[in-house]
Structure 1
Amino acid sequence: MLENKIAPFVKWAGGKRQLLDKIIERMPKAYNNYYEPFIGGGAVLFELQPEKAVINDINFSLINTYRTIANKPMEFIAYVNKLDSELGDNAKEYYYSLRQHYNDKLMKEEFDVELAALFVFINKHCFNGLYRVNGKGLFNVPYNNSKKASINEESILAVSEYLKDVTILQGDFEDACRNAQKGDFIFFDSPYAPLNPTSFEAYTKEGFDVESHERLARLFDELTDRGCYCMLTNHNTEFINELYGNKGYRIDVVSVKRMINSDASKRTGEEVIICNY
């Protein structure tokens, strides 16, 4: 673990910053390689900064940004600063024009430095920092009226320096764990199961349905048999408890604040931290 403090460069739904202490105190005392198949904003990765890490996500645009910051930090910084510099009196119109440009590039699958800069810019200037796409896969979150800088250059350079030694994958969570061996640690910040089981139909549009959760639970069992240390977080729901209960796993219930919910009355809840050790 390194001594340099680095922070996530994007806000991500379900991010684990507020659970860091609870996660770290439940970590195995020693492990070999670190795997995080659902990297999201990377709060746990950047807090731990393991020497041998493999990260992954299904989101092409997110992984393009990780790879861009790792390999072309100065180009990325220049692009973002240019976007920020043009956020003037017509900020709202400007945001929506960039959102449209971002979506156009997504549809053309132009995963480049410009897309990475646009990705971070709209994340910092959209409502609640929520990355959300519609059924067509287009980003559709409105403007948050902020004119704050999208990045901290020093932080981006520190992130870049760390990521140079990290294996960055894009794809299915199961493929990301294919090479995990006995003594490796896998942290699953898995997509949330809906609090209301009837909302799974809408949730499927985000690409993680009932079958995906069941497949993840089977992978957790398989990695346990392989001798890997596994930790998984999710909502404390009946569905999740059914998937992981009665298998000898440690299931701890913890209270959380759901800062990303637009309804303040629904910003508290419970999550589970499940460990196989």
Structure 2
Amino acid sequence: MMQKKNRAFLKWAGGKYSLVEAINAKLPSGNRLIEPFVGAGSVFLNTNFKRYLLNDINPDLINLYNFLKAQPDAVIHDASRFFTRDHNCEATYYALREEFNQTSDEYYRAILFIYLNRHGFNGLCRYSLAGRFNVPFGRYKKPYFPHEEMLFFAEKSQKAVFTCLPFEKIFGRARRGNVIYCDPPYAPVSKTAAFTSYASSSFGLDAQHKLAKLAVRASYKRGIPVLISNHDLPITRQLYTSADISELSVRRSISQNGATRKPVAEILAYFTPNLSLPKTKKRQQKRRAKQTQTA
């Protein structure tokens, strides 16, 4: 049974905090959880694997996680200094957003990323095609500084390796005994609902197809279980036709008008590992043993 739920220290569009029970119920046991699209890390924070490989295509996110893992006290102390009344105004926000876009100092970018995340509109993380962070000021009365959440993340991250690579490469690092959970940018429910620019590169239909193929290959040919979250749409049903589908209903908060935030149908697609693989492995091991003996 899961203990107290742990919140991510970042606000995140499409975060999985409200779904961790449903996701945990579908995740099998394993020696390492691999997340090719870690985002704010709610699944990581609410699971109990020995080790984690946590990846995201957003370099600012992974940069922050690595600094928080290595020097939590410094990161928490330095970030907290930006959570004052003087920093919670439009002019200061845009000045610091510009500093973030101009600086190449990775530590300073990590600190500012926390500030921008908590002071920007709706916790969005969005970049222009030129790679500039462009989320507008959020106008919150008193943005919350997530001190305890950052401490917990830093402590748990000692079990994790953080990488910033294309998701295809992360599938290549999976080994038998690992479990893969994917929370990719969702297939849009409509053309105007597409939101895939949080790392200044889009995640289109080709990428959705590629991810589904990799999931089939990992589970069927390599015996590695894969669980994927996505919108419940005809296209995702088609892509995940060989998976075991669970239906969910989730209240999303990305709509600008709070009154129009309606529950959205989502699915969890579980690609069952091919359990006949160990026999093949045993045959390979016997063959190697014979080759060693005759060498």
TM-score between both structures, scaled by the size of structure 2: 0.84
- Give the AA of the match of 2:266: E
TM-fit CA distance, 1:232: 0.3
* 1:243 is aligned to 2:239: yes
TM-fit CA distance, 1:102: 1.0
Instruction: Report the 3-state secondary structure (helix = DSSP H, G, I; strand = E; otherwise coil) of the residue aligned with 1:256.
Output: strand
> Structure 2 CA distance, aligned partners of 1:113 and 1:83?
14
TM-score between both structures, scaled by the size of structure 1: 0.89
TM-fit CA distance, 1:127: 1.1
Partner residue, 1:193: 187
TM-fit CA distance, 1:150: 4.7
> Structure 1 CA distance, aligned partners of 2:88 and 2:155?
36
Residue pairs, 1:146-225, within 5 angstroms = 146-196=140-190, 198=191, 203=196, 206-225=201-220
- Give the AA of the match of 1:14: G
TM-fit CA distance, 1:50: 2.0
Residue pairs, 1:1-277, within 5 angstroms = 6-28=6-28, 30-85=29-84, 87-88=85-86, 91-105=89-103, 108=104, 110=105, 112-196=106-190, 198=191, 203=196, 206-225=201-220, 226-245=222-241, 247=242, 249-263=243-257, 264-277=259-272
Cα pair distance change 1:122/1:49, threshold 3 Å: farther
- Give the AA of the match of 1:236: D
- Give the AA of the match of 1:222: R
RMSD: 2.3
- Give the AA of the match of 1:184: N
Instruction: Report the 3-state secondary structure (helix = DSSP H, G, I; strand = E; otherwise coil) of the residue aligned with 1:178.
Output: helix
Superposed CA offset, 1:23-60 (max 9, x none)? 112222x2221101100010010011422111000000
- Give the AA of the match of 1:213: Q
Q: Is the 8 A contact 2:57 2:164 kept in 1?
A: yes
Superposed CA offset, 1:156-192 (max 9, x none)? 2221121122111111111112221223110001111
> Structure 2 CA distance, aligned partners of 1:214 and 1:103?
33
> Structure 2 CA distance, aligned partners of 1:219 and 1:193?
17
- Give the AA of the match of 2:176: K
Gaps of 5+ in 1: none
Q: Is the 8 A contact 2:249 2:265 kept in 1?
A: yes
- Give the AA of the match of 2:71: K
Instruction: Report the 3-state secondary structure (helix = DSSP H, G, I; strand = E; otherwise coil) of the residue aligned with 2:173.
Output: coil
Question: How many residue pairs are counted as aligned between the two chains?
Answer: 268
Q: Is the 8 A contact 2:30 2:49 kept in 1?
A: no
Tell me the percent identity: 31
Cα pair distance change 1:147/1:97, threshold 3 Å: farther
> Structure 2 CA distance, aligned partners of 1:143 and 1:168?
29
Cα pair distance change 1:54/1:202, threshold 3 Å: closer
Gaps of 5+ in 2: 273-295
